[in-house]
Each structure stands twice: as C-alpha cells, then as structure tokens.
Structure 1
Amino acid sequence: MSHRHAHPPHAPAPLPRTVVLVGLMGAGKSAVGRRLAARLGLPFVDADTEIEAAAGCSIEEIFQRDGETAFRQGERRIIARLLGERPVHVLATGGGAFMDAETRLVVRSHAVSVWLRADLEMLLHRTARRSNRPLLKQGDPREILQRLIDLRYPVYAEADIIVDSDERPPEQTAERVVAALETHFGIALTPRVPAAAHAGERL
C-alpha cells in the first residue's frame, strides 16, 4: 500500500527513481530486492555488501572492532554515495540505516523508500537461519526484535510506500512492490534493460 494516491498507470515507463528498501533484519530486503531488480531490469545493490567492501571486513567485525556508532557513520556515507553516484537501481539497506535522520533526508531527495513490514514471528523465523546478526547476539532474539520493532517501526512508517512481507514467496512480495510503485508514480513500469544475473549477491 502507498501513503500517496496517484492516477492509474498510463503508458509503460522506466522507474524514475532508485528504490530504497528499508525494514528490520529478516524482512526480506535482499531476497525481495534481487527479484524486484530482475523484474525491472535494474542493478541490485546491497548496502551491507558495499560497506564490507569499503571496510575490507565483515559487518560483524566492524561492530566488534569499532562499535555501532562508527558503523552507522560509515553506513551513512556509503548510502549517500550510492544514491548520489549510481544511476537508478534497487538498494537494500541495513535495519538501522533509515533510523539516521541524515540518511532519511538523502533517501527522500534521491529515491523512493519502501518499507517491507514483517511481524515478530516472521522475523524470528527468518533470522534464526542466519548467524551473522550482531544485534541479536546481545541477548534473547525475541526480546531484542520486539524492542527494535517498538523503536524503529514508527520511523519506518515515514517511508513513501509500505508493503507487508509475510509467508508468501519473495517473488510475490516483489510483484506487490511493483504494483505499489506503479500507483505511487502513476505509471506502468517496464524494464529499462533485460534483467541480467547479478554477481556477488548474498542469499
């Protein structure tokens, strides 16, 4: 669903702005983002992957070595660079990125934001399959995720578009994002170029 109402889509057109996916860990930003990018014939970029490439180490190592504050500063710079330098693409961001006021301003200026909203049980199910979640190693995952929901969901709600990420396959969620983008921009979306395989993407 979209916060804004637009006229029904008219002639097919390319996506006019980069799509920035926001949401908690486990919301499906990478899985949905890859499929959304392929559907629109656009590059997919994972901000976490870009941060790791710039730092030369994993996000978990950055947290351990430099702390969360330093990580957030680097994250802010990387996202601003990606949105300022790259042509239209699909960008998946880390769970805390949209909480930064400066990052939200940059996203608002250069992109359209989509919150992939998932409930606590879905997030628990998905994050249990991954061990590289630094914030979840600080205590009980259920309590930590609930605390993050309480803190972050009111801010995520500032996103331009909200799409629920549930038990349905990521392909279906990606199609719902496409429909929401079409309503938001008032256009029918067509791929810019044939979708290509994207190297280096994380599952």
Structure 2
Amino acid sequence: MKTELHHVVLVGPMGAGKSTVGRLLARNLGRPFLDLDTAIEQHTGKCIPELFETAGEPSFRDIEQRLGIQLLDTTEGCVLATGGGAVLSADFRRRCLHPDVLSIYLAVSADEALRRIGWNPAASRPLLATEDPAARWNLLLSEREALYRQCARTVRTDGREPKDIAAEIARELQS
C-alpha cells in the first residue's frame, strides 16, 4: 500500500458503518479516531439535526468542509469517519485524494443501511426525515455514488461484521 500514508478517510452513505468500522480500524492501527459529525457537534455546540434546522444544510456543509480539512491538516495520522455528504465539497474531495490520504468508500445496500440506522432514522438523520426514508436514501446515494467512487478503494459492507471489515483494511495497510 502507500508507504507515506498519513490518514485513512472513510466515506459512504448513512448506515455504511463509517464510525463503527473507523473506531475498530483506528484501534487496529494504533491511530487516533475522529468522527467528523462528532467534531462538528463539539465545534458548534449543536447536534446535527439541530444544526440542520437552525442553520440549514448549506451552512452545515460549509462547516463540514472546513472542519474536515482542518482535522486532516492538524491531526497526526488519524482515521477519519466522515458524514455521508462530506464528499459534496470539491475542496474536501481534493484533500482526501492527496497522496498522504487513503480514502475508502464503504459501500452498502439501502436495505442494510436502513436496518443499521434503525426504525426511526429521521430522529438522528435529518436528510431522512421524509415519508419514505428508503426512497430518500436511494436518491442521496444516486447523487453521491460517483463522488464516493473517486476514492482509492471500495469495500462492500453488506452482511459483514465491522471487526472483519476493519481487520481487512488494516491488513492491507500493513502489508
């Protein structure tokens, strides 16, 4: 793999397992784990649904882009789990394609993602606060999948345990 690799960035849709796999991967690699959504909440003092409601999605995306780039520029060798829409920012995508970053697209089917998110995704996922969360999830994926696929690697997560996914990625990085 990359000998000068500094960061691992996990991207993908809601429910792909970015945060869960990221924590395990960071532990396997002995690196710090950062969750971009958690960092945004700490930075703004608001939870993601509240931020969407009070500031709107464009403002949220601006914060997400700036903070994501800042974390990669100021943190020593981390595993970063992004939000599903982080790839919408061209500047953030460019940073994730830098030679010191391995970006990995965690791909998942709608059925599996919605099962993982739970019975009431709108409670914590403002973009799924619709009458048909599955249709909305599929629409978001169709809008973003080409951006996710710009990553260096794609890993399917359907029907797999997070620990196995993290171990696979760690083995590849350590080989």
Could you tell me the TM-score, scaled by structure 2's length? 0.92
Task: Tell me the CA shift for residue 111 of structure 1.
Answer: 1.5
Residue matched to 1:59: 48
Cα distance between partner residues in 2 of 1:103 and 1:137: 26
Of 152, 166, 173, 1:174 maps to 166
Structure number with higher relative contact order (C-alpha < 8 Å, ≥ 6 residues apart): 1
Q: 57, 61, 70: which is aligned to 1:81?
A: 70
2: CA distance between counterparts of 1:156 and 1:105?
12
**Structure 1: how far apart are the matches of 2:145 and 2:97?**
17
Q: Report the Cα distance in structure 2 between the residues aligned to 1:68 and 1:180, rounded to whole angstroms.
A: 36
Deviation track 1:56-96 (CA, whole Å, cap 9, x = no partner) reads: 11011110001000000000110011011110010000000
Please say if 1:152 is aligned against 2:144. yes
Letter of the structure 1 residue corresponding to residue 117 of structure 2: T
Which structure: larger Rg? 1
The number of equivalent residue pairs is 172
The alignment status of 1:164 with 2:156, answered yes or no, reads yes
Greater share of helix residues, 1 or 2? 2
C-alpha contact (below 8 Å) 1:99/1:152 kept by paired residues: yes
Which residue does 1:134 correspond to in 2?
A: 126
Q: Take 2:155 and 2:168, find their aligned partners in 1: how far apart are those partners?
A: 7
Superposed displacement of residue 55, structure 1:
0.4
Gaps of 5+ in 1: 1-5, 183-187, 189-203
Pairing 1:143–2:135 present: yes
- The TM-score with structure 1 as length reference comes to 0.80
Rounded to whole Å, the distance in 2 between the matches of 1:151 and 1:122 is 19
Residue 108 (1) aligns with residue 97 (2): yes
**Structure 1 stretches of 4+ moved >3 Å:** 179-182
Shift of 1:180: 4.0
CA contact (8 A) 1:112 1:160 kept: yes
Task: Please give the secondary structure, in 2, of the residue aligned with 1:138.
Answer: coil
123, 127, 132: which one aligns with 2:113: 123
For 1:161 and 1:132, how far apart are their aligned partners in 2?
A: 28
Identity of aligned residues (%): 38
